[in-house]
């Protein structure tokens, strides 16, 4: 049987979108693919209806997080998910605190991996739970280290963002601490996880009781684990 030529062309368009760091218009894509603008626009609309692409500005498009979900599944099937879990497990063993890996899901920080220590206070947040951008340590990191396009999108979303002072402090120190207002008695500290290009793609955090919370004690283990995650994403 022959492959579907139309499907191959739609997938080729997805590859072009994935190669972009920001949104792109149909005319630019048409020039790159050697296709007519109308044809490319029709394929874009197909991907929008299917949930793979979204319109973000006048006449410009980008991938949705559906691609991230598929990428995560592919990573897990390739064994990378297991290695990420091993990094979190080692971090928990070193610190005796709950470790979480968080990414942006729309305009909310969403936990995609989590490991809790045995025999200590359990924090009732599971994989798939979302948090506050303005108050959570992970949310503050994801905003403070966001690329300009992501930051612009977050501002347009109307979400409550951390102040510029908080973001500036996070960029200066390399980490952010939660406000303590979201969950009473619980504090967290988070650091950015970067890809091979240096972009922040996730936040790695440690969470524990406020009574014995010590952010400075956890920063070095967090940063070491974040570097190992970056190396893992690079295939090392």
pLDDT at 205 over 70: yes
pLDDT at 183 over 90: no
- 91-110 average pLDDT score: 87
Domains of the chain, earliest start first: 5-63 (1.10.10.10), 67-233 (3.30.450.40)
Give the model confidence (pLDDT) of 103-133 as tens digits: 888 788 888 888 888 755 555 566 667 788 8
Give the model confidence (pLDDT) of 14-72 as tens digits: 888 887 778 889 998 988 888 899 999 999 999 999 989 988 877 899 888 887 777 66
- So what's the pLDDT on residue 210? 79
* Token pair belonging to 123: 């924090």
Give the model confidence (pLDDT) of 143-180 as tens digits: 999 988 888 888 888 888 999 999 999 999 999 998 87
* Token pair belonging to 139: 């949310």
- So what's the pLDDT on residue 222? 94
Q: How confident is the model at residue 77 (pLDDT cuts 50, 70, 90)?
A: low
Query: Phi/psi of residue 57, each to 5°?
Result: -140, 180
Query: Phi/psi of residue 46, each to 5°?
Result: -60, -45
Which range among 41-45, 57-61, 220-224, 226-230 shows the weakest confidence by mean pLDDT? 57-61
**What is the per-residue DSSP string for the chain?**
-PPPHHHHHHHHHHHHHHT-SS-B-HHHHHHHHT--HHHHHHHHHHHHHHTSEEEEETTEEEE-THHHHHHHHHHHHTTHHHHHHHHHHHHHHHHSSEEEEEEEETTEEEEEEEE--TTSPPPS--TT-B--TTTSHHHHHHHHT--HHHHHHHHHHT--PPPHHHHHHHHHHS-EE--S-SSTTEEEEEEEEE-TTS-EEEEEEEEEEGGG--HHHHHHHHHHHHHHHHHHHTT-
* pTM score of the predicted model: 0.65
pLDDT at 78 over 60: no
Q: Say how far apart CA 207 and CA 219 lie, in whole Å.
A: 12
- So what's the pLDDT on residue 199? 86
Classify strands 186-194 and 60-63 as parallel, antiparallel or unpaired: unpaired
Q: Say how far apart CA 27 and CA 130 lie, in whole Å.
A: 36
Query: How far is it between the farthest Cα atoms of the chain?
Result: 65
The total of other beta-carbon atoms located within 10 Å of residue 148's CB is 9
Q: How confident is the model at residue 190 (pLDDT cuts 50, 70, 90)?
A: very high
């Amino acid at each position: 049987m022959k492959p579907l030529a139309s499907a191959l062309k739609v997938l080729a368009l997805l590859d072009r979108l994935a190669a972009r760091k920001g949104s792109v218009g149909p005319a630019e894509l048409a020039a790159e693919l050697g296709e007519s603008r109308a044809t490319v626009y029709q394929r874009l609309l197909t991907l929008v209806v299917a949930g793979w692409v979204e319109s973000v500005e006048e006449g410009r498009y980008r991938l949705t997080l559906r691609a991230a979900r598929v990428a995560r599944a592919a990573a897990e099937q390739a064994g990378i998910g297991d290695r990420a879990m091993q990094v979190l497990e080692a971090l928990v063993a070193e610190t005796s605190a709950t470790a979480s890996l968080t990414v942006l899901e729309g305009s909310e920080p969403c936990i995609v991996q989590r490991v809790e220590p045995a025999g200590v206070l359990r924090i009732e947040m599971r994989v798939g739970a979302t948090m506050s951008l303005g108050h959570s340590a992970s949310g503050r990191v994801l905003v403070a280290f966001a690329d300009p396009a992501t930051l612009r999108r977050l501002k347009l979303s109307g979400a409550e963002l951390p102040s510029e002072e908080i973001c500036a402090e996070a960029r200066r120190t390399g980490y952010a601490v939660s406000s303590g207002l979201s969950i009473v008695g619980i504090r967290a500290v988070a650091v950015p996880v970067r890809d091979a290009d240096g972009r922040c793609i996730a936040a790695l955090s440690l969470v524990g009781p406020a009574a014995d919370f010590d952010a400075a004690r956890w920063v070095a283990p967090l940063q070491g684990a974040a570097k190992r995650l970056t190396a893992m994403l690079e295939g090392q």
